[in-house]
Chain A
Amino acid sequence: MREALNLERRKALKAGAGFGLLSALLSVGLISPQQARAAVNKGAFDAKTLDETYKALGVSAPAVSDQVVINASDIAENGAVVPIGIKSNLPNTQMVALLVERNPNPLSASYNLTEAAVPEVTMRVKMGQTSNVIALVKADGKFYTATKEIKITLGGCGG
């Protein structure tokens, strides 16, 4: 049993080469190979438009859902630090991701959630300009979104 597990881990370790953290975690048994494989395709972070990002993530026509909630102020004083919270009220939420439509690469962050996680995360991101932000949620294998516009006010006038 022990042997088999170790073998599994070593295989995953090889497969995960280049994924520093994931392989490290695999090797100490922090996460299972299953979770490692569920990791988001790196290409999604390089995508330059929403459509490209969705494609890279394997998302097609996500449904708008009022069960996905974005918690953020309408105005951010400094685009370098924009606090944004995402909450999903959908059963069996497996992943939440944040996309900023007008950033050079819309995908900012994605979170794989185990059953022990409440589907609610808050983070801070950079926004180059006023833009829609999109919360993308995967629940029970299906994708849902919510959108909110955030205005960036910081101009060149110091103080």
Chain B
Amino acid sequence: MRHLLALLAGCVLASAAMAARAQDKSGDEVAKYREMLADGNPADLVELRGEELWKAKRGPKNASLEQCDLGLGPGVVDGAYAQLPKYFPDSKKVMDLEARLVYCMTTLQGFTEAEVTKAWFTKPGKEADMEALVTFVGARSNGKPINVANRHPQEAAMAKMGEYIFYRRAGPQDFSCAICHANDNKRIRLQELGNLTTKEGAGTAMKSFPAYRVSQGNVWSMQRRLIDCMRQARWPEPKYLSDAVIALEVYLQGKANGTVMQTPGIKR
């Protein structure tokens, strides 16, 4: 706790006076700001681009992704995101959407893994294809409840590993996810940090990803969100698509089970 305060002090102090005086009013105004952005979410354009990419014949095999099996059978996109991550017998692995897209891009389209994971998130001047595909597939689960059953032994094992990582303290600051994310009504600056150990808190987070991040001006997938949180925890940054990240996703999706998807969300 002391570490957390020390780390965040510089940021918190700047706005603490204002925040204390007018937190609720500020909260209302921030809510109004996000509401105005949600009507015409810039990520809607990313979703359109994702749909084009999904249907485009690309790669050495000149194939589209339309026959990709996201867990509900080849070509079924509707509702797929809400049921991921899940165990896939063909790869013998628990995969989230991004891992699965990489699998399809290599098997169906003939890309190498390095090619499709190299620029997985947007950098100035270069928008990531992966982000667009995730936004497209995510939106096709809108209105569907998150349904991650964790029935397969490997899924259950990943959920357990995710829970372990969530509570484990590590790194130079001895941080855990739980330090920032297992309390009700915790805030950093004006930022409400949901309690991810409850269905409500986890649901609020998981139903709205992929999400447009106002402060970044682009879409973040859950992979990116979690990898960045590990950076915030001062942990060594995990590799994109690594089991640690997917395990956390399995754990958090499980907590959020039953929450109705609504993406792309709007986040700070």
Contacts and interface: CB of A to CB of B under 8 A. Distances in A.
Report if A and B touch in the complex (beta carbons < 8 A). Answer: yes
A157 interface: yes
B30 A75 contact: yes
Contact of A75 (B10, B14, B26): B26
Contacts of B32: 73
A54 to B, nearest CB: 28
Contact of A77 (B10, B30, B232): B30
Interface stretch (B76-84, B143-151, B159-167, B185-193): B185-193
Interface string A117-148: 00000101000000000000000000000000
A81 B214 contact: yes
B215 interface: yes
A78 interface: yes
B190 A153 contact: yes
A59 interface: no
Interface residues of B, number: 22
Interface residues of A, number: 19
Contacts of B15: 153, 155
A63 interface: no
Interface in A75-119: 75-78, 80-81, 83, 85
B214 A77 contact: yes
Interface in A42-90: 72-78, 80-81, 83, 85
Contact of B217 (A72, A76, A80, A157): A80
A83 B10 CA distance: 29
Contacts of B11: 155, 157
Interface in A18-63: none
Q: Closest 3 A-B residue pairs measured CB to CB? A: A157-B11, A83-B36, A73-B33
Interface of B: 10-11, 14-15, 26, 29-30, 32-34, 36-37, 42, 188-191, 214-215, 217, 232, 268
Interface of A: 72-78, 80-81, 83, 85, 122, 124, 153-155, 157-159
20 contacts: A73-B29, A73-B30, A74-B29, A75-B29, A77-B33, A77-B215, A77-B268, A78-B214, A80-B217, A81-B214, A83-B33, A83-B37, A122-B36, A124-B37, A157-B10, A158-B232, A159-B189, A159-B191, A159-B232, A159-B268
